[in-house]
Amino acid sequence: MLGKFLDKFLDENLQGLQDQGLFNEIDVVEGANGPIIQIRGKELINLSSNNYLGLATDERLKRIAVDAVQEYGVGAGAVRTINGTLDLHVELERKLAEFKGTEAAISYQSGFNCNMAAISAVMDKHDAILSDQLNHASIIDGCRLSKAKIIAYNHSDMDDLKRKAEEAVKSGQYKKVMIITDGVFSMDGDIAKLPEIIEIAKEYDLITYVDDAHGSGVTGKGKGTVKHFGLEKEVDFQIGTLSKAVGVVGGYVAGKKNLIYWLKVRSRPFLFSTALTPADVAATTAAIQLITNSTELVDRLWENGNYLKGGLKNLGFNIGNSETPITPCIIGDEKLTQQFSKRLIEEGVYAKSIVFPTVPKGTGRVRNMPTAAHTKEMLDAAITVYEKVGKELGVI
């Protein structure tokens, strides 16, 4: 009988979402998530994935994953601390530490999981976290789980951060204070001001935590935003995902030996959730090796990003202040943004709209994610569609 309260809750809330136009049907990709995808039987130029380097469908990685399945099977069989730690996991973590220029690394089942795990393993109710207002949802949830006081600072506003850091430290209320930031902000493509953040952290003795989900494999010649600024020795927590540029799935923390050891004995998803599968780990390790060995894919990604940005800008679109290949096309009005994206998709370009509450009201945008796997012809075709739809809807 209790079910009726659940039914009422769902009916009311789902209707609310529908009324606000926030109820998105999920599109189903029929086949691989490459530069061209098929949805509802139609082929589309894909400008919405995070598969920055095209590695999700890389033939070399596919073979390595298949080989790992043959040798190790499809599952790790247990959590890491029982007997789910395969030699493959140890090798991946060694590679990750090398990749990030740290003493050690620990892997998790996803980037989301990693933030939930790492923040709550170190911070507690006696602590405070200074968090950029635009940080990713998984950071926000990790902070909440830790029960630390969350102090949001205005996006990349170093004066605001400094003021709030000083206030928190001088209040004497907190045992530890941490600064957390995305390395690359996914909705605008801007890069965190890490040198200034580190300066503030040094001045007030703060812990530093950088989630570079969108930077690893992209900035710093592929090695990420911390490397881009040469701050490997200064940042305490280097977080990354293995699902975007790396093309597979998983997340990690790279840092000092003691920190990683602590996470291995205290972070709950590591202790209580089954380890990444052999295929995922083997493919990931190989992907990191590919990114380390050559900047060819990273260079192509940037070339494609700059090409698309240039094309859209020349047409008169507002592409914001992205410093990375992420190419937002800012439309403003939410309804118009959704209509714009719908028309793009009808015309063969899969670029999704992103509106409030993911971005502030009045800054609705279509976000384009060019990858190394796109050809110039694909990008030209996308730009042509943008021109047509832009003129049709009066955006340009």
Question: At residue 105, what are phi and psi to the nearest 5 degrees?
Answer: -155, 160
- Whether 214 sits among the annotated catalytic residues: the reply is yes
What 8-state DSSP symbol labels residue 110?
-
The residue among 46 and 138 lying less far from ligand PMP, judged by its C-beta, is 138
- The enclosing H or E element of 382 equals helix 376-392
188 binds ligand PMP (CB under 6 A): no
Catalytic residue (one of 244, 309, 352, 374): 244
- Binding piece for ligand PMP, criterion CB under 6 A, among 74-82, 111-119, 296-304, 336-344: 111-119
Find out whether 129 and 180 touch, Cβ atoms under 8 Å.
Answer: yes
Task: Give Rg (Cα) of the chain.
Answer: 22
243 binds ligand PMP (CB under 6 A): yes
- The enclosing H or E element of 122 equals helix 111-122
Whole-angstrom distance, CA of residue 100 vs CA of residue 53: 18
Q: At 304, list the tokens.
A: 């494609």
136 binds ligand PMP (CB under 6 A): yes
Q: At 20, list the tokens.
A: 């606000």
The residue among 222 and 390 lying less far from ligand PMP, judged by its C-beta, is 222
The residue among 107 and 341 lying less far from ligand PMP, judged by its C-beta, is 107
Whole-angstrom distance, CA of residue 181 vs CA of residue 130: 9
The residue among 65 and 187 lying less far from ligand PMP, judged by its C-beta, is 187
Q: At 153, list the tokens.
A: 């600072």
Q: Which of 286, 283, 295, 250 is nearest to 105 (CA)?
A: 250
Tokens 């599109």 sit at which residue?
A: 27
367 binds ligand PMP (CB under 6 A): no
Tell the smallest beta-carbon distance from residue 124 to ligand PMP (Å). Answer: 22
182 binds ligand PMP (CB under 6 A): yes
Catalytic residue (one of 186, 216, 267, 353): 186
Q: At 290, list the tokens.
A: 């590919």
Tell the smallest beta-carbon distance from residue 351 to ligand PMP (Å). Answer: 17
Catalytic residue (one of 214, 223, 352, 374): 214
- Whether 89 sits among the annotated catalytic residues: the reply is no
238 binds ligand PMP (CB under 6 A): no
197 binds ligand PMP (CB under 6 A): no
Catalytic residues: 186, 214, 244
Contact residues: ligand PMP, CB under 6 A = 110-112, 115, 136, 138, 182, 186, 211, 213-214, 241, 243, 251
